Structure 1
């Protein structure tokens, strides 16, 4: 008798949410993007993630313009990507309700610069729905993003990144 391949599939989203937050004494900066794509291989724990830089929405239009043109140069570097592997993936069962803490390690590319990243997160499975959430920090200077001295004190050296994805089985 053949066993059903519940885990031997990929889960994906085209509507992942990514936000970042920068807090300084002068001004808080926050942006949201709900168009991230992500794929998780349920068999191996490998994952890939991509987000279009221009899809980040800011409260102030001028902030969004400066972010795209002056800092991120989104015409030259249109997206940020992550390719990695969840550690201890054998303890995660995307076919069974539960909360599964995970760590992911891989390579993040932002602004044309690739760096190793490790982050903790959680997979929550409830009623066949799979949600992946993680919050981590990155240093702006690690990705070659130049901040002009006149506004350097307005932008935090580290940004808090939050990722929230509702994943669907690819072959359903």
Structure 2
């Protein structure tokens, strides 16, 4: 939990988020990924994802530890962290961006989150289609997008290239509560 708290503080200081009624936090967001492969599909879940939503400034920030992904097999976890993501060198992935044309008063809307995704030490500007739902005083943001492995300089040995997809599907869901520091 101390790692998550330190990630939150890093995001807070870096992005200028402060405590007010327009800011929300998801302390246990969910991100999963799926890679179709001829030998065996690869999928993992991460429920230790921190996200901050700033309605006033229409901004979103996400941070997660790469080593918090859970796989069905220990060997997949080991290969993911040691050989591909190199989580000892690149321990986290982040997204910081703007939600285009966000209307905080609407109960449900589909928008674009445009910002910088950093994985494996490489930052790329991306657009992600998101669904935002407002229920009482909470918000849920969910969506799905594809990541090209080559865009983030993730090396796959030629002998394994047929076992790992070149495009990884990422799904996410964050349930935000009002943040009052």
What TM-score comes out, normalization by structure 2 length?
0.86
What TM-score comes out, normalization by structure 1 length?
0.90
Equivalent residue, structure 2, for 1:77: 90
Question: Which structure 2 residues correspond to residues 114-153 of structure 1 after superposition, within 5 A?
Answer: 114-153=123-162
Q: Give unmatched runs, 5+ long, in structure 1.
A: 1-6
Q: Supply the distance in 2 between the matched residues of 1:149 and 1:110 (Cα, whole angstroms).
A: 21
Q: Once the 2 structures are TM-superposed, how far is the Cα of residue 150 of structure 1 from its aligned partner?
A: 1.2
Alpha-carbon contact 2:23-2:52 (below 8 Å) kept = yes
Q: Supply the distance in 2 between the matched residues of 1:127 and 1:27 (Cα, whole angstroms).
A: 42
- Are 2:37 and 1:28 equivalent residues in the alignment? no
Shift of the 101–92 alpha-carbon distance from structure 1 to 2, 3 Å rule, reads: farther
* Structure of higher CA gyration radius: 1
Equivalent residue, structure 1, for 2:117: 108
Structure with the bigger percentage of helix = 2
Q: Once the 2 structures are TM-superposed, how far is the Cα of residue 127 of structure 1 from its aligned partner?
A: 2.9
1:151 aligned counterpart, secondary structure = helix
- Are 2:174 and 1:165 equivalent residues in the alignment? yes
Moved more, 54-63 or 40-49: 40-49
Alpha-carbon contact 1:137-1:159 (below 8 Å) kept = yes
CA RMSD between the two structures: 1.4
1:69-113 CA distance string (max 9 Å, x none): 000000000000011000012x232xx6x2111110000010000
Equivalent residue, structure 1, for 2:81: 68
2:170 aligned counterpart, secondary structure = strand
Equivalent residue, structure 1, for 2:101: 88
1:77 aligned counterpart, secondary structure = coil
Q: Give unmatched runs, 5+ long, in structure 2.
A: 1-19
Moved over 4 A (4+): none
